[in-house]
Amino acid sequence: MAYRGISAAALVLVLCASCELPTVPSESPAYEPSLFVDFQTRLIYHWPLGRTISIYTGIAGGSADDDLRAAILSAAAGWNRAVYYREFDIRLVNSPLDADVIFHLDVAPPIVDTNSCEGILLGAGGVTYFCVDEGLTAILSLPLAGSSSAQSRVKFDVTISSDPLQVPTRERFFGIVAHEMGHVLGIASHSSDSADLMFTAPSISQPSARDARTLRWLLHQPSDLDL
């Protein structure tokens, strides 16, 4: 009988691997994170909870590529610390065919065709580009650039400026990458507080407590756009 008891416990654990995420403590956002389509339409978007988001980095050549990958991993760790339940994970991949998101310097050749639709641009020394369908129901996949007919699953294309006037220091570079990652995760607006990472021109390189609270709130709202 004791053996059966252990089996039952194991069964509960197995079942809970597919449980819904636990209810989160109610929090309010520190600032408005919605996407403003027009004066009347505000949309929330985020990846399905528990999703691993795959990022491919474009090739600019030299140490800049290593810096970009380091900045992405630093940003991912910072945003991961902001949430309680592993609502998302972020990994780097070696092929654009496996990517949900592209990060590249402006001097790197384009990976996706950003002229395929009138996309939405969110910027701050970097630009996050994505396309919403006309019915405002989904964020569309961006076709791969060039003659490739391969199926793309890329939803966001992030361009980071290499202009030293816009990105004067390594810390600022890390901050811009982390800021743009905030847009990729669903924070579509900017904070008006200059102490936040999601301020238009961030002076920090990791999410503030207010950025973290805003993301936690946002991830547990229904997403208006399929991703």
Give the residue carrying structure tokens 């019915």.
135
CB of 62 to Zn ion, least distance (A): 26
Candidate segments 26-34, 50-58, 122-130, 155-163, binder of Zn ion by CB under 5 A: 122-130
> How many residues interact with Zn ion (rule CB under 5 A)?
2
Q: Which of 60, 112, 124, 176 binds Zn ion (CB under 5 A)?
A: 124
Candidate segments 8-16, 120-128, 130-138, 159-167, binder of Zn ion by CB under 5 A: 120-128
CB of 159 to Zn ion, least distance (A): 12
CB of 156 to Zn ion, least distance (A): 12
* One character per residue 65-104, x = contact with Zn ion (rule: CB under 5 A): ----------------------------------------
CB of 56 to Zn ion, least distance (A): 21
* C-beta neighbour count of 173 within 10 angstroms: 24
CB of 76 to Zn ion, least distance (A): 17
Q: Is residue 122 a contact residue for Zn ion (CB under 5 A)? A: yes
Candidate segments 95-103, 119-127, 137-145, 204-212, binder of Zn ion by CB under 5 A: 119-127
Task: Compare residues 145 and 179 and give the one whose CB is closer to Zn ion.
Answer: 179
Calculate helix-pair angle for 63-82, 209-219, nearest 10 degrees: 70
CB of 126 to Zn ion, least distance (A): 7
Residues near Zn ion (CB under 5 A): 122, 124
